[in-house]
Every structure is written in structure tokens, then in C-alpha cells.
Chain A
């Protein structure tokens, strides 16, 4: 197995999506494929590879219906005017989609079937909302037998397809308090604000000129959902979003977002030959299935598998990026794996930065690699829960690349 490195990483800022108030989304007049098409040539150029040298392209997206249909991943390539010789795959593992892209690229390179792989992720939750609206419009039509057949009723699809309800159920089982989750949410915003003010994100965000609802053009260079004014008091005041007397609120879950992410993976030898200094080396990957009604539990077994495969213990990991689809997911992971919370989401997490479903996997791994570089540290683990009851995890290692 060959060593595989992260040679480049770039993303757009994440705008905040509100399907019912589209005008407030900074990216309301841009499609996700347009955002991605802006990123791809730029990440290729900044990494220092030639587009012609790319052996494969993997693009992740969670709601690949309507305008996010990708023609097997070729549409972003065409939109970005990249060489026709780049093959593509469209990867759907829901919120794990672009991490799955990284994992497939990792294996292609590790097994010597490719030298350079481009990975992308995209999601626009204003223009292509998730959930019931798409079901009602027929763009998503799950088999009604799943909902109605007594032999299948134990899947409880009404809960399984509603992320908020799965989070409520996870809280029921884990007994985390509303207060603990709200505090984690405030922490997420505080750390993200701090990282932003230190200019940390400038190294990974490609500013994009975006036409606004009123026709003006805004240079979008920072994440729209990060709040400077998040306090525990304001969090406490929020009403439950998914059920009466529930505990999941907009303050302790990720917002809806739009954005795109991109990453270049290479074999270590190829990077060395070209004199490209990697961000980190991909060490291990993990994936696991869990009860879909508590999909937020998924990162725990997925991380364990990744750790086992790399013969590492949780304590060996210096920094964690745990996707805060809901704060309870991170809290549960910390408790189950015995993680030091101070090592988790140190630049803020999904609650603040956002979670543009299909784009998130690359954001987690890319940001983690940059954290290892910025803060010093050897191992990092990024994981995410996945709708439908899964978890994905990726372990990276910061090495010295002496070329």
C-alpha cells in the first residue's frame, strides 16, 4: 500500500441557507455546481499540479436531485472547463459523501491505480432543500412500503428520515442535558469567531463574488452562519425545532448551508517528485452502520474501526474534527471514545461554521490537516454522522516532508 497525502485543500465560505427566505442566503443566486466549478481550477493551480495529471475526480453531494444532479460527476468538470480526460464519480453517502470521496481516492492511490485524485463536495440547501419538500414534489420518493409494511416498520422511517428526531432520540438515550448541548454550541461559535479573527480560515476559503437578491455583488469570504454574539442566554431562549418539549434547537445544531469544497490527493512519491509539500498523510479510514433512528451515534464505531486499522488508540489523536450536525453527536463521541474535549473542533464546528451536507467531509479533513499544521500535532481524526444511520471517519498524520 502506498502512502497517500493531502496535497491541496480549498473551499468556498459557507453561506447560511433558509429555503423559506432565499434572499438572505449570500449564495442565493449561485448554484452549487457553479461554486464548485470556481474552486476546482483554483485548488489545482494552488496545489501545483497540472489538470491533465488528474487521474480521477470524485464529487460528493447528499441531495443530488434537481439542479444538483451531476451526470456522474462530469458536470462540475465541464463547468470548470477541465480536461475531458478526467473521469468522474458522483458519490452519495449523504453527509459522508465527500469524505467517502476522499476514502475512495485514498484507496485508488494507495493501491496504485491512480497518482493524483481530485475530490469535491457541494450542497446548496436553499436552492435544493432537504427533506419533505422534495418528497412532496416527487423529486425524492422513498418506497412507501418502508413506511407502511409492518414487516419493515421497525426501521421507523418517520424518525429515520428526520435528522432532528434522530438527534432527539440520541439525547433521550444518552441523557445529555439541553444545557450541555447549548454550551457546546456557544463554544463552537466562540472558537469559530476566534479562528476567523486570527485569519485561520483565510487559508482555506476562496472568496467568491456573488450576486445578491437585490442585484448587488458581495465578495463572500467568510462563513455566514458564524455568530459573534452567541451567548448561553440566547441559546437557552431558543425553542425546540423538531418536537414539543424537545431539546434540539437551532442553537445546538448545525444550520442549513450552501457551499463547495475541494481537495487534491496524491501519492507521496508523486508529491515528492513534483516538490509539492503535503498538508498531511492519510493514515486510515473507517465506516460503520448504526440504528438509523439514532444516526448521530455513527461516528463512534466508524472512528473505532479507523483507529483499529491504524493500530492507534483514541488517546494518540492530537486533534479531532467531529461534525456537529448536532452538538449531541460531538458530546456522545467524546464520552464514548474518552476524548479530551479541548482537542475537539478547536476552530469551531458545524454549529457555527455550518454543514453543507455533501461538502462537509472535505471541510472536516481539510480543516483538520490545517489545524495539525497550525497547532502542531501528529495525528488527527475527522468523523461525521450520516443520515440513514452511518458514521465515517478518516485519520491523518502530519509528517515531516523533507523535500
Chain B
């Protein structure tokens, strides 16, 4: 038997061939890797000395899935189907082969990894291992039998949850669902798998009874299947608007799950191909790869980030307590500073509050929380206590003078290498850093509310932020499980300005007689979590107004406050916090706020504007044109230069619909020439706010795109 493979280590003992799969870093199933496994399995099948096979992975991964970078290169259906057929032949050979194959699942077992494990005859998983078919998250469906084998093993209801929602399960749950046959401690995993192999060899386990394709006892009846899938389709339609893959998965169940699994696998392959060639999958795969690469900037390549162990948090408000939550769960020592004992006490209570969800859902025991708080959270009202900190994050009053005072004091207290990070959402960081002797140590770490849940961390480099400071900040972001997006200093940085830019068109539409409800509906239908009015009501109409003023002040006439914005602001209805904004929230269900409705009506009457119907498409085009334009201005101004990061920031920071890929992806799909024409048309109609950035004109004229084609 051949044993010298690049990615498969072979050990033969007592008739059991143990294959250790080792394709760093996470055992992704590349074409070459699969071919080696297939070769190794074939050799073992043909070798009389081998009675049973055990497949296992390396480190914390069994197999993390297919190699997406390879998959995304496939563009033609023929190519895709050919690859899938080849892969199915490989898995079928294992499944229907002459010898028992046992999967010893040593860690993460996702996508193609689980599909391989399901083609085996016995599965042992290590405690806590994650098993799943997360393909829908990439706009795909399982393409190597997942839609057909998983229901055969665990029944359709369970498989629906795992495949259409892409939800993975831990080994313990997989055992309860009979997806795996045994769960073992890490040290005992291989021996447990070999024990199972010996049972097969001794004839106590029947390979024939454990061939997944012949397991029909969990298949639903025709009537049951119809009832289940009709229901799931309805539920999915409500949850996954705009997505394709969940519906293709449902179709795979509908047309498959028969008694000829090879026909079913062919159906699955066709549906997989439908997904892979779709724009949605391209967008989602792009996001996946970009997310993985976020923060890997040429500027900090090769720099060793500082080891951050102790972090001081200044201010225990909403943001501060959310950030302390992250510090504690991330294993850091935290020091919470606030202005007085009462504020500190309030902060600690607020920190406890952020764990309510964990306690209620038994993701954490009360004593674990107490141990964490007493063991790793220090509270103080003295800045002196920050002297041990490797990183100080400040979230105090949004007042330049107050902040600068604190930083000046801290510079005298902290070690010179301590990083100073501000969580300001509006103040210029370059100016804030100007009071320091070493402005290179200062950076912006803009968390989003609620900090413990939002995945994005916007990292803002001030003019003189040092590369080392940035490298350590990016590494810190990863340590607290955030996606770091690095931008440069400017009003609203990237995310806030881009979001305001995206929503900025609504006031022009309203002033033109378009119903606010139509604008809301169009944007929600587009995929935003909420429309401009609902968002303003949430963040505060006054806040937005002030930001708009700041933009006008710092970015010029393009951001002149619209008279209608002014008029609405003057009503004093600032949104949810005052009980009413665009909507009135005081009743059981929100209704349009009559005060604002009147103001808009008065504005229209005064300006002789008649009510106007606008289609959802017209609305979306205007809103997106403004957003793209703002993005272009920010690129011109040097706020940011990486389209993939900009799009990720909007997706993770504001809920921009992932399946659309992002604002700049959308621009590319729309075509810059069309965007440019649209902006010229809007400028004519609505004025300077829509005047196209020079960059848009250049791109339109030269046929350039934001992303490489």
C-alpha cells in the first residue's frame, strides 16, 4: 500500500489503516487534497492487509469544508457538474466500498467535511466538535450529498434546520440526533474509532446496515414531506428574502429523498450549480473571503503586534459596559474607570446586564460570571489604576476638551507603549491626539452598539497613528472576535458617513412629494433592516441633524442641511427617545407622527409640490446613487481605499443586505457609467448633494470598476 502522500499520513496497525488528513491550515478540501484521499482509500481497499479504515484530521479540524477559492473560480455549469460528479464518485466509493470506513471527527467538521463523514459507516466525534452544512451562508447548498445523506441520517426536520439555515451543531447534539454514533474525549478519540473498526472486523457491527444511502427509515412519507417543505418554504420566504440557496436546498429535498440516491445526487448537483453561478453566491463568497482577509493590510504586514493583556476602559456607559463584556469573555484583565463611585457602580451593573442573555439561556452559570467579575475586573475612580494597562479605551463624554484632559493625564501615568484608543463616534481623532507627546500611540476604535454583539470594529487611523499601534489594534480586534476595518480620520469616519449618505436621499424624495412610507418600504424591500425614518427615530433625529451640520461645516455645501430636515428637527420630536419622531411610538403600534406629517404637508404646500408616486426601483436608485457617490468622495479624500473593506463595514456595521454584496459591489453591478448618468440626472433635479464625485466620472469614462472584474 502506498503511504507517501503530501496531505495524508497513513498508519497501519492490526488491520486498521488510520489516515490522518493534513492539509494546512484547516484541511480544506481542495481538488488535489481530495484526489490524495481518494487514492489512499482506493489503495487501502485493494490491500488485503487492511480490514478497516479510520479517517481523522489534524489539530482542531477534521475538515473545514471545500476550498472556496477553488470553487469560486468555477463559472460554467459543465465545469461545476463535472467536479461534483467526480466528488460524488469519490464519496460513493467510500460508502459502497468493500471495507468499513470510520470517521474519527477530531474537530470542526463542516460542509464537505461532514459530507465525507456521512459517506463513512461510523462516526465518532470529539466532545465539542462543530458539525454542520453552512453552505447557505455562502449562497450555496451542500453539493457532495449533504442534502440527501443528512436527512437519511437524522430525519428531514433536523436536516432542514441544519441545511436551510446553515446552523451547525455540537458533537453532543449530533449524537442525540444520531448524526454521530459516539462522542469521545480528545485523548480517547482514535482508540474509540479503532474500537469501532474492530467491531466491524469482528462482524458485530454490520457495514451493510450502516451504509447511509440505504438508510430509508428516516425519510418522510410523501404527504409528510409536502407538509414539511411547504411550511419551511413559507418560513424561509419570510426570513431569507433575496437569498436563493435556502430555496434551492428545499428543492433538493423536494425532488430528492427518493429511493434512487444517485438520481437524487444528480438533482442536488444541478441545484448547487444554479446557486454557484448566481450573483448572490458570488457576493456572499466575496464577503466570506474578504472577512477572512480583513485587517491584513500591507501597511502592517510583518509587524509583530504587542501582547495585550490588561485593558483599561474609561467610562462605564452603554458602550463601555459592552466593551468590558468583550474584554472579560475575551480573557483580558479589565480595569473600569469612571468619574465617581456612583458611575462605577452603575457601570458594573450595566456590565452584568450585558450577560443577562447568557444567564437566561444557560450559556453561562451565575457563578462563572461572578468568578469572571471578581477575578478579572478591577474598578476604580483613579486614573492611576490604569498604569498597568497595555491598552486604554476611552468612551467618556463626547467633548474634545474633557477627552484631551484625560489623555494628557494618562500619558504621564501609563507606560510609553500603552495604546490609547478612543471610541468617539464624531470627534476628529487627529485633533484629539495633538495634545499628546506621542500622537503615534493614539487610534480610534469605533465599536458599534451593542458592542458585545455587533461584529464590526471600525479602526480609525489618525494622521500620525503609528503602524505598530495599528498592528496591535487589529490583533486586539481579532482577539475580541471583531472584524477589523481600517479607515482614516474624517467626519463620521467611514461607517457613519456612509450610512448617512445611504439614507440622505430620503429627505429629497420627501420634499419632492414622495410618501415617507413608500421610501421605508422600498429600502426594507431592498434588504436594509430598516428604512431611513425608522433609523432616524432609533438614532435620534437631533443627533442626525447635528451630524448633518458637522458634515455641512466640514465637507461643504454638498451636505447643506435640507430645509425640510430643519423643519422636522424644529418639531422637537427626536424619535423613540422622545416618544415620537417620524413615527409616533406611544401607542401599541407605531403610527405616522401627525406633527411631522403636518410639517411635511406644510412644506409641500409652501413650495407648491404635489404628492408624487415613485416606484421602489426609482427610490432605491436615488438612495444608492447618493451612497455610491459618498463612497467615491471618501475614497478621493483618502478616508478609505479598499472597496472590500468598505462593503464589509456596511454589512457588519449597518446590516446592509449581504446578498447584495455591498454598496460598491452594487455599483459595479449597476455599472459606473449608469451611476454617473443617474447622479447627473439627480443633480439637475435635486441639486448639489447629488453632484457626482470626480472619481465617479473618471471611472465611468474609463470603464473602471471598484472591484477587479
Known: A30-B222, A30-B223, A127-B216. A23 touches B205 (CB 8 A): no
Other A-B contacts than A30-B223, A66-B218, 16 sampled, CB-CB below 8 A, are: A23-B259, A23-B260, A28-B216, A28-B259, A29-B221, A30-B222, A34-B221, A34-B223, A66-B217, A67-B217, A128-B217, A129-B217, A136-B206, A137-B178, A138-B178, A213-B260
Residues B215-231 near A (CB distance < 8 A): 216-219, 221-224
* A20 interfacial by beta-carbon distance below 8 Å: yes
A249 adjacent to chain B (CB < 8 Å): no
Q: Which residues in B have their C-beta under 8 angstroms from that of A129?
A: 217
Q: List 5 A-B contacts (CB under 8 A).
A: A28-B216, A31-B224, A127-B221, A137-B217, A211-B222
Q: Which B residues lie within 8 Å of A23 (CB)?
A: 258-260
Q: Are A213 and B205 in contact (CB under 8 A)?
A: no
Most chain B CB atoms below 10 A, which of A21, A29, A31, A127? A29
Report the minimum CB–CB distance from A308 to chain B (whole Å).
Answer: 43
Verify if B209 is at the interface (C-beta below 8 Å from A). Answer: yes
Q: How far is the CA of A127 from the CA of B224 in the complex (A)?
A: 13
Find the residue from A126, A129, A132, A136 having the highest chain B CB count within 10 A: A136
Given the interface pairs A22-B259, A136-B205, the reply to whether A126 lies near B223 with Cβ below 8 Å is no
Identify the 10 closest CB pairs spanning chains A and B, nearest first.
A23-B259, A29-B222, A31-B221, A211-B222, A213-B259, A22-B216, A22-B259, A133-B209, A30-B221, A136-B209
The 8 Å CB contact of A132, one of B206, B217, B218, B222, is: B206
Please classify the interface of chain A as helix (H, G, I), strand (E, B), loop, or mixed, using the class held by over half of its residues. loop
A28 to B219, CA, bound (A): 10
Per-residue 0/1 for B257-278: is the Cβ within 8 Å of any A Cβ (1 yes, 0 no)? 0111000000000000000000
Chain A CB within 8 A of B214 CB: yes
Bound complex: CA of A213 vs CA of B263, how far in Å? 12
Residues of A within 8 A of B206 (CB): 132, 136
Q: Considering only CB atoms and an 8 Å cut-off, how many residues of chain B contact the other chain?
A: 17
Query: A19–B259 contact, CB under 8 A?
Result: no
- A23 vs B257: C-alpha distance when bound (angstroms): 11
Q: Tell me the smallest distance from the CB of A320 to a CB of chain B, in Å.
A: 35
Nearest B residue to A24 via CB reads: B259
What's the nearest-Cβ distance from chain A to residue B152, in Å?
A: 11
Q: How far is A128 from B217 in the complex, measured between Cα atoms in Å?
A: 6
CB distance from A228 to the nearest CB of B (A): 26
Q: Which residues of the partner chain A approach B216 to less than 8 Å between Cβ atoms?
A: 19, 22, 28, 126-127
* A213 with B221: CB separation less than 8 A: no
Task: Tell me the bound Cα distance from A67 to B209 in angstroms.
Answer: 19
Q: Within the assembled complex, what's the spacing in Å between the Cα atoms of A127 and B214?
A: 12
On chain B, the residues within 8 Å of A211 by CB distance are 222
Please, how many angstroms separate the alpha-carbon atoms of A34 and B227 in the complex? 13
Q: Name the B residues within 8 Å of A213 (CB-CB).
A: 258-260
Contact with A along B198-242 (1 / 0, CB 8 A): 000000011001100010111101111000000000000000000
Q: How far is the CB of B375 from chain A (nearest CB, A)?
A: 43
Give chain A residues whose Cβ lies under 8 Å from the Cβ of B209. Answer: 132-133, 136-137
Minimum CB distance partner of A79 in chain B: B223
- From residue A39, how far is it (CB to closest CB) to chain B in Å? 15
Chain B: minimal CB distance from A14 (Å) = 17
Name A217's closest neighbour in chain B (CB-CB). B222
How far is B210's CA from A138's CA once the two chains are assembled, in angstroms? Answer: 13
Q: How far is the CB of B218 from chain A (nearest CB, A)?
A: 8
Q: Nearest A residue to B258 by beta-carbon distance?
A: A213
Interface code A85-96, partner B: CB below 8 Å = 1, 0 otherwise? 000000000000
Per the bound structure, the CA–CA distance linking A213 and B222 in Å amounts to 10
B222 to chain A, nearest CB (A): 4
Tell me the complex Cα distance, A132–B204, Å: 11
Q: How far is the CA of A67 from the CA of B224 in the complex (A)?
A: 11
Complex CA gap A34/B210 in Å reads 27
